[in-house]
C-alpha cells in the first residue's frame, strides 16, 4: 500500500472506532469534518517516510504513529480556529469546525481527537508492544508541555516571547515528533532523525508566515493576514519578505543535509524538495526579488 | 504511603515534568491551577482502592493510572467551565481556569492535561510494560468517543438525548475506567470491577443533580442551579428531589453489593458508604421527607 493509502486508511479506521449507532452523532460528524478531507498530511507522510528509511519492520506501528500525529495536528487546528484564538471561518477549503458545528462541539472534537491519537498508538503497538511507551513519550513531548505544540500556541498568551522558542514549539515540535516517532516505530534510532524534523518544522513555520502575507486565501483554504490581525510574531515581519524567503531556503538545505545516510535517503531528499516547492514556489522568490529591484530603481536618482 | 499521598505526589510529579524554565510560565500556572488544590479525588481514590484490593503488585502503574484519570477529569472540568459551556466563575472554591487565566489558556491547559495523562501512564508503566496498551484503551474509552466523558458532554449539543445515555457517558464512563484500570494496573480482572464503577458513576451523577438543587454554592466550591440555567437533563428534575434521593440510595446499595469477594472488600464497602454520606448526607433525605409530609398535611382537608 502506498503511504497516502496507509495514512488515510488508518485515519478512517481510527475515527470509525469512535463512531457507534448509540454514540452522539453530531460529535462524530464534527470529528470527521476535522480530519477529512485532509491537507497535505505532511507530518504523517514524513513519519512514514522515516519509518520506511529505517526498514519499516512493524508497519502497523508506523501507521499508528503517523495517524496519531495527524490526529493531534487536526486537534490543534480545530482549537486554534476557535473564536478565542484565530476565529477562522475556513480551514482546508471548508467551514472550520466551530463554524460548521458550533464552538462547544469544536472544543469537544479537539479533545476527542487527542484521546483517539493515543488509543490508535495503543492499538497499532500490538505488533511491537515494547515500542509503545517510548512512542507515547516522543509524540506527547511534541504536543504537550513544556515544548510541544500546545505550549507553542500558549506563547501567544505570554507577555514576553522569543520568536524562535515560539516557532520551535508551535510547529517544529510536531515535525521532530514525526521524524523521531517514524524511526522509533521501525526500531530505528530516533536521535539520528530529530534534526530533519527540526529543520523542516522551522522551514514550515517560516513558509506559513510567508504564505500568510503572499498567498491567495482560496489557494490556502484558510484566511490570510492572520499574523498581522492577531499581532503574532512572524518571520515575514521580523526579516522582511525577501529575508524570510532566503531563510526558508537555507532551512530546506539544512533539512536535506541532515538526512542520515541510508537506503531511503534519496527518496526523502526528493520528498523534501517537492514539499519545499509546494510551500514556497521558487517563482515567489523571483517575483519578490524583481519587485525589490524595481523599488530600488525607483529610489535611485535619475541620471 | 497512604492513597492520598500517592495520588498527590504522582500528580505533582506529572505537572513538574511539564514545567521548565524555558517553557511558557502562564500555561504551566494555569495547568497547576486546574489540578491543585484538588477536590475529593474520588476517581483516583477509587482506582487505587481497587488496585489494592487486587494485590497492588505494581504500585507505580496503579499510581499512574490513578493520576491519569484525575488529570483527565481536571481537563474535562476546565473545558466544561468555558464560556461556551457553563461559563462557571468558580471551581473547587477558587476562580475557574478561564476566569483566572483567560479562555485561550483554559483551552490549552485542558489539552495539555489530556496529553500529560497518557505520558504519565507511559512513565508509570515501566514497572509492568505489558499492561500499558490495555490501560490506554480502558482509560481512553472512559474519556473519548463514543461513550466516554467527552461524548457525554457532547450530548448537551444533540437535538435528542436519552437521560441515561447522557449520564452514563458524562460521569459514569470515567468511574468505570477508574475501577477497571485499577484492576488492570494490578494485574487483576477489569471485567469483575466494571459494575462497581458503573453504579458509583450513576450515583455520583444523581448526587450531582441533587446537590445542584440543594447544596450551598460556598460548600460545593462552584455555582448551583446550573442544570436549570443550562436547561440540562437532570434526575432531580425528572424524578423530583425525593425520588432522586431514593434513587441515589438504591445506586449506592447496588455499588456496595457489586464489590467482588476479596481481602479488600470490607475497606471498599466502607469507602463507598463514607463517600455516599459526603455526597448526599442522610439528613437531606430526612429533611426532604419531612417537608413532603408537611406539604401533604397542608393539602389534606381540615377535619
Sort out which chain A residues have CB atoms less than 8 A from B85's CB and list them.
Answer: 104, 107
Sort out which chain B residues have CB atoms less than 8 A from A100's CB and list them.
Answer: none
A104, B154: Cβ pair inside 8 Å?
yes
pLDDT at res. B292: 66
**pLDDT tens digits, residue range A26-37?**
999 999 999 999
Whole-number Å distance between alpha carbons of A175 and A81: 20
Distances (CA, A) of A185 to A6, A10, A55, A124: 15, 15, 10, 10
Chain centre to alpha carbon of residue A64: 17
Domain borders along chain A are 3-299
Looking up cell 494555569 gives B30
Query: Is residue B156 over pLDDT 60?
Result: yes
Mean pLDDT of the A113-129 span? 97
Q: DSSP character for A157?
A: G
Mode of pairing for the β-strands spanning B94-95 and A90-91? unpaired
**pLDDT tens digits, residue range B160-212?**
888 788 888 998 999 999 999 999 999 999 999 999 999 999 999 889 888 88
Average pLDDT, chain A: 91
Interface test with A, best of B76, B114, B158 (most A CBs within 10 A): B114
Assembly ipTM: 0.92
Residue A284, number of CB atoms within 10 A of its CB:
17
pLDDT at res. B167: 81
A176-190, A274-288, B281-295: segment of lowest average pLDDT? B281-295
SS3 A258: helix
B255's CB contacts (< 8 A; 6+ apart) are: B195, B196, B199, B200, B203, B272
**pLDDT tens digits, residue range A243-271?**
899 999 999 999 999 999 988 899 899 99
pLDDT at res. A212: 84
CATH number of A3-299: 1.10.600.10
pLDDT category of residue A239 using cuts at 50, 70 and 90:
confident
SS3 A90: strand
Query: Is residue B285 over pLDDT 90?
Result: no
pLDDT at res. A292: 65
Sort out which chain B residues have CB atoms less than 8 A from A101's CB and list them.
Answer: 157
Interface test with A, best of B129, B154, B172 (most A CBs within 10 A): B154
pLDDT at res. B218: 66
pLDDT at res. A231: 67
**pLDDT tens digits, residue range B39-84?**
999 999 999 999 999 999 999 999 999 999 999 999 999 999 999 9
- For residue B85, give the C-alpha cell: 459551556
Residue B5, preceding peptide bond in cis (omega within 30° of 0): no
A176's CB contacts (< 8 A; 6+ apart) are: A142, A194, A197, A198, A201
pLDDT category of residue A295 using cuts at 50, 70 and 90:
low
Q: Tell me which range, A224-228, B36-40, B97-101, is most confidently predicted by mean pLDDT.
A: B97-101
pLDDT at res. B230: 72
Q: DSSP character for A50?
A: H
Sort out which chain B residues have CB atoms less than 8 A from A58's CB and list them.
Answer: none
State the nearest Cα–Cα gap between B10 and chain A, in angstroms: 17
Amino acid at each position: 500500500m502506498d503511504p497516502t493509502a496507509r495514512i488515510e486508511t488508518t485515519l478512517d479506521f481510527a475515527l470509525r472506532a469512535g463512531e457507534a449507532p448509540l454514540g452522539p452523532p453530531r460529535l462524530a460528524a464534527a470529528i470527521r469534518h476535522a480530519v477529512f478531507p485532509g491537507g497535505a498530511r505532511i507530518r504523517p507522510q514524513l513519519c512514514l517516510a522515516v519509518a520506511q528509511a529505517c526498514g519499516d519492520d512493524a508497519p502497523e506501528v508506523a501507521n499508528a504513529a503517523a495517524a496519531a500525529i495527524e490526529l493531534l495536528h487536526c486537534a490543534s487546528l480545530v482549537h486554534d480556529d476557535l473564536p478565542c484564538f484565530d476565529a477562522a471561518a475556513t480551514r482546508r477549503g471548508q467551514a472550520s469546525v466551530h463554524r460548521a458545528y458550533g464552538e462547544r462541539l469544536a472544543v469537544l472534537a479537539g479533545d476527542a481527537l487527542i484521546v483517539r491519537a493515543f488509543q490508535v498508538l495503543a492499538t497499532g503497538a500490538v505488533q511491537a508492544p515494547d515500542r509503545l511507551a517510548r512512542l507515547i513519550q516522543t509524540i506527547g513531548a511534541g504536543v504537550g508541555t513544556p515544548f510541544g505544540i500546545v505550549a507553542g500556541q500558549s506563547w501567544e498568551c505570554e507577555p514576553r516571547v522569543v520568536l524562535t522558542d515560539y516557532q520551535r514549539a508551535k510547529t517544529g515540535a510536531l515535525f521532530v515528533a514525526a521524524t523521531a516517532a517514524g524511526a522509533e516505530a521501525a526500531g530505528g534510532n530516533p536521535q539520528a532523525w530529530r534534526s530533519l524534523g527540526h529543520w523542516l518544522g522551522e522551514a514550515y513555520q517560516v513558509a506559513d508566515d510567508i504564505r500568510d502575507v503572499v498567498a491567495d486565501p482560496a489557494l490556502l483554504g484558510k484566511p490570510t493576514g492572520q499574523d498581522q490581525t492577531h499581532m503574532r510574531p512572524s518571520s515575514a515581519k521580523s526579516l522582511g519578505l525577501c529575508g524570510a524567503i532566503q531563510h526558508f531556503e537555507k532551512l530546506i538545505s539544512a533539512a536535506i543535509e541532515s538526512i542520515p545516510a541510508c537506503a531511503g535517503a534519496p527518496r526523502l531528499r526528493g520528498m523534501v524538495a517537492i514539499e519545499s516547492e509546494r510551500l514556497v514556489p521558487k517563482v515567489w522568490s523571483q517575483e519578490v526579488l524583481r519587485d525589490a529591484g524595481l523599488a530600488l530603481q525607483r529610489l535611485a536618482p535619475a541620471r
